Every structure is written in structure tokens, then in C-alpha cells.
A and B are shown apart, each in its own frame.
Chain A
Amino acid sequence: MPVVRIPTPLRPYSGGKDSVEASGSTVGEVLTSLTTALPDLKDRILDAGEVRRFVNIYVNNEDIRYLDDLATPVADRDEVSIIPAIAGG
């Protein structure tokens, strides 16, 4: 199964885990299974089925916006990362 990497600010909603396996053959399917298993994550990643504008999703270090967005294919053991912007300084 693909592995979703959970960033530190969202770990309170993943039971503290830094990565979670989630089934699916596209990024959209993976995020649907992730947020079905961990419903508290849903509003923090998605808004009306789209990725929220302050969150970026990467598959193996590639931004899905220049691939195929939520239709980007994901293979077994691929790494899907949720990357929030870091504000502090």
C-alpha cells in the first residue's frame, strides 16, 4: 500500500503517527481512504474535495500540481507527503 507521511502539526489527528498506510491507485483515492480512517484530518487537508490552498501534496518529492493533481497515479510503496507551509522565524 502507499504510505502517507503526516507532518508534525497534523500528528494530533493521526494518533501521533508520522506515517500511515492508505490504499488507492491515485492520490485522490489515497487521501479518501486516509481521511475515512482518520476523519479529523479531512478538513485540514481537503476543502470540498480539493486540496486546500495552503497545503501541498507530493508523491515521492514531486508536487502533484505539475503531475495530474488528485488523479496522479500512486503505486504500491509510493510515498505521499502532506506538506504544510512553515510560518515561524
Chain B
Amino acid sequence: MAFASNPNDPLDRYSRQVRFPGMGEDGQRKLMASRVTLCGCGALGTVLANHLVRAGVGFVRVVDRDFIETHNLQRQILFDEDDVADNLPKAEAAARKLRKINSTVTIEPIVTDIDHTNIEALVSDVDLILDGTDNFETRYLINDAAVKLNKPWIFGGVIGSEGQTMTILPGKSPCMRCVIEDSPPPGMTPTCETAGVLGPAVAVVASFEAVEAIKILSGNFEKLNTKLIMFDVWDWSFRELKIAALKDKVDCPCCKGRKFEWLDGALGSHTTTLCGRNAVQIATRRHEPLNFPEMATRLAPLGEVRHNAFMLRFATEGHEFTVFPDGRAIIKGTNDIAKARTLYSQFVGS
């Protein structure tokens, strides 16, 4: 018998996966020798980490800046009410749960805000970068670092009942800036806070990302997705948008020009704690003024909002946002930069 149970065999616990023809013993051993960095451990990130640790990826670095809140539990599958009561950071709570799931995997939790100063160190020693973030600023940073260091990465995004994913192999596929040239202006697109999100939609996107990760880490490159996948689990729609030809057609500053503007800090936001004011300022570099009436419409159901031509004020959940037309915001009610950046992506957008 090829797969008789043998507790001393490290492959034994993966027997059902090894039997899958695309994997085999060879693929499983590659998976067990592989290393990944997971950027963001919220909705997408917990599903991704769960799949990869159960599948036997050898090393998983979990990077996240946030603490767990009760409203996360609807979709962030690694967390429970005890974690909320213990006031644990997501990376640490995830690591504790993941180690119980599979003690043979090395889990490295890192509680930090990913920015242009630390991303290279977080991804330089891994085989693959996974996107569990909720904002485009971090995704463009991941994209710059991945292209610069020639590492594959997998994009996933979800809002409401809709999801998107694509797989980026630097030098072989279009990069994220080839496909999505610029992020939407803050306040212009919905976020999970303003438009809501269904747990199963998250699980579908993250599961697609996880399958692509398993293919890459087990050496099955020929089976990778080459399209921008888009689906809606509420309307039962599924689309495969062809993007491969963009690689040679688009004059991409990142993968063609090798200008890493997000990684260099030339693009993206800068944050400052406003001493003594229990407030953080987030300064973005956008040329286009924000659309306050549209932002106000999105935010109105979530708190008190008012605006004039010069500023928009929004109060919710103990925090007050003052947003200026150039995207700069002062968030009152916290001195914590990571918390302020989370609030900005949640309510204003990336």
C-alpha cells in the first residue's frame, strides 16, 4: 500500500492531498520546503493562512497591524470571542490558532504596519507574497517589491458579494500597475465598511488565491491563472478577463520602467502623530480633489457627516475624521498610527 498510515512519515498527514494527481509526493515536499509572507491577516488573510498551513507550506510569516474586534468575527475565520476579550493583535492570535492546526509549520507573526521602509525586509526571504490587505496603497507596495525582487504574488480583493483575483509573475505576466494603472481616489469607491461584505465571498476569493499559491509552491506553474478573474456570488456571475497581452502593450512604470515609486516613498501616504491632540494626520499625494458629496452619501449611514468646499467631517465609533480636498485627513480619537491608517482605509478608502 502506497499510503499506509505511518505517524512517523511527515507526509502522512497530507495523504489526501498527496493523492491528488497535480500534487504527488514531489509537489508536497516542495510545498513543505517553501516560504511565504502573508500581508494582512483579516478576512482574506485568515482564510489564506488556514488553507496554506493545513496544506503544509513550511514557513508562513503573518504580517498585520490591527487588533481583533467583534465585527471581524463574521468573516475572519481564525478568530473567536476569546481573542477579542484578550485584546490580541490579529497576527499573534492567528499564529496561536495556526500552530494548533499544524505544529509542523513555522509561523512567524509580525505586528506592524507595512510601509515602504519595511516591506523589502518582510518579503526578501520568501518564495511567494500573498495579498490579504484591504487597500491599494499596500498592494502597490507589494507589487513594487515583488517586481524589484522578482517574487510572484497573488492579488485578491472583495467587496459585498463580488471578488477579483489575479496572479502576478514578474517578467512573465503583467504586473498590477499594468492592469490597474492607478488606485481610485479616496472616497470614490466602496469599502467593506461602507458597502458591507459577505463571508462566503471572502472565502471564495481567498480560496482561489490559495489554490494559485499551492500551484506556485509545488512547481505547477503551467496551471496558473493568466486572467483577471471576477465573480459575484450573489448574482452567480463569473468572468475571466484577458489581461496577458497588457504586458507588452502598456508602458508600465514599474515592470517596464523599473521605477518603484511606491517603494521609494514617492507615492503613498505619510502619517504623523499630532502630539497632545490624540490625533493622527494622514497625508496623501493625490492631484485630484476628492468628491465630498459622493463621500458624504457613502458615509451618511455610518455616522454623522457634514461638509463644505474645504473639508468633510465625519464622526463614527469614537473617532472624528476631518478630510481635506487633497485627501489629507486628521483622525481624532487615537495616537496610534497603525489604527489611524486602518480607519482611513476602512472609511475613506485607499
Q: In the complex, A53 Cα to B253 Cα: how many Å? A: 13
* Residues on the A chain within 8 Å of B205, using CB: 89
Query: Of the 9-residue stretches B8-16, B111-119, B157-165, which lies at the interface with chain A?
Result: B157-165
* Residues on the A chain within 8 Å of B45, using CB: 89
Complex contact B180–A87 (CB within 8 A): no
The interface bits of chain B over 177-197 (1 if a CB of A lies within 8 angstroms of the residue's CB, else 0) are 001111111001111100101
B349 and chain A: residue at smallest CB distance? A87
Is the CB of B71 closer than 8 A to any CB of chain A?
no
Q: Is the interface of B mostly helix, strand, loop or mixed?
A: mixed
* Residues on the A chain within 8 Å of B188, using CB: 44, 54
Q: Which residues 42-89 of A sit at the B interface, judged by CB distance below 8 A?
A: 43-44, 53-54, 56, 58, 61-63, 65-66, 81, 83-89
Choose from B182, B185, B242, B246 the contact partner of A61 (Cβ within 8 Å): B242
Is the CB of B27 closer than 8 A to any CB of chain A?
no
Complex contact A54–B181 (CB within 8 A): yes
- Chosen A-B contacts, 15 in total, with CB atoms closer than 8 Å, are A9-B189, A61-B239, A63-B241, A63-B243, A66-B249, A85-B180, A85-B184, A86-B158, A87-B136, A87-B349, A88-B159, A88-B197, A89-B156, A89-B192, A89-B202
Q: In the complex, A66 Cα to B135 Cα: how many Å? A: 27
Is the CB of B40 closer than 8 A to any CB of chain A?
yes
Complex contact A85–B136 (CB within 8 A): yes
* Residues on the B chain within 8 Å of A53, using CB: 181-182
* Residues on the A chain within 8 Å of B32, using CB: none
Choose from A18, A65, A83, A89 the contact partner of B134 (Cβ within 8 Å): A89
Given known pairs A86-B158, A86-B164, A87-B349, the reply for A66 and B246 (CB within 8 Å) is yes
Q: In the complex, A85 Cα to B43 Cα: how many Å? A: 18
Choose from B133, B202, B230, B250 the contact partner of A83 (Cβ within 8 Å): B230
The interface bits of chain A over 4-17 (1 if a CB of B lies within 8 angstroms of the residue's CB, else 0) are 00001100000000
Query: With A83-B228, A86-B159, A88-B43 given, can you name 20 additional A-B contacts, CB distance below 8 Å?
Result: A8-B160, A9-B195, A56-B179, A56-B180, A56-B241, A61-B242, A63-B243, A81-B241, A85-B164, A85-B180, A86-B162, A87-B134, A87-B136, A87-B349, A87-B350, A88-B158, A89-B40, A89-B156, A89-B157, A89-B192
**A40 CB to nearest chain B CB (Å):** 10
Complex contact A87–B182 (CB within 8 A): no
Q: In the complex, A34 Cα to B74 Cα: how many Å? A: 39
Is the CB of B245 closer than 8 A to any CB of chain A?
yes
Is the CB of B44 closer than 8 A to any CB of chain A?
yes
Given known pairs A61-B239, A86-B158, A86-B162, the reply for A66 and B181 (CB within 8 Å) is no
B249 and chain A: residue at smallest CB distance? A66
Is the CB of B131 closer than 8 A to any CB of chain A?
yes
Q: In the complex, A66 Cα to B131 Cα: how many Å? A: 26
Complex contact B192–A63 (CB within 8 A): no
A60 and chain B: residue at smallest CB distance? B242
Is the CB of B170 closer than 8 A to any CB of chain A?
no
Given known pairs A53-B181, A54-B184, the reply for A85 and B157 (CB within 8 Å) is yes
* Residues on the B chain within 8 Å of A18, using CB: 235
B181 and chain A: residue at smallest CB distance? A53
* Residues on the B chain within 8 Å of A81, using CB: 239, 241
Given known pairs A61-B240, A63-B241, A65-B246, the reply for A88 and B181 (CB within 8 Å) is no
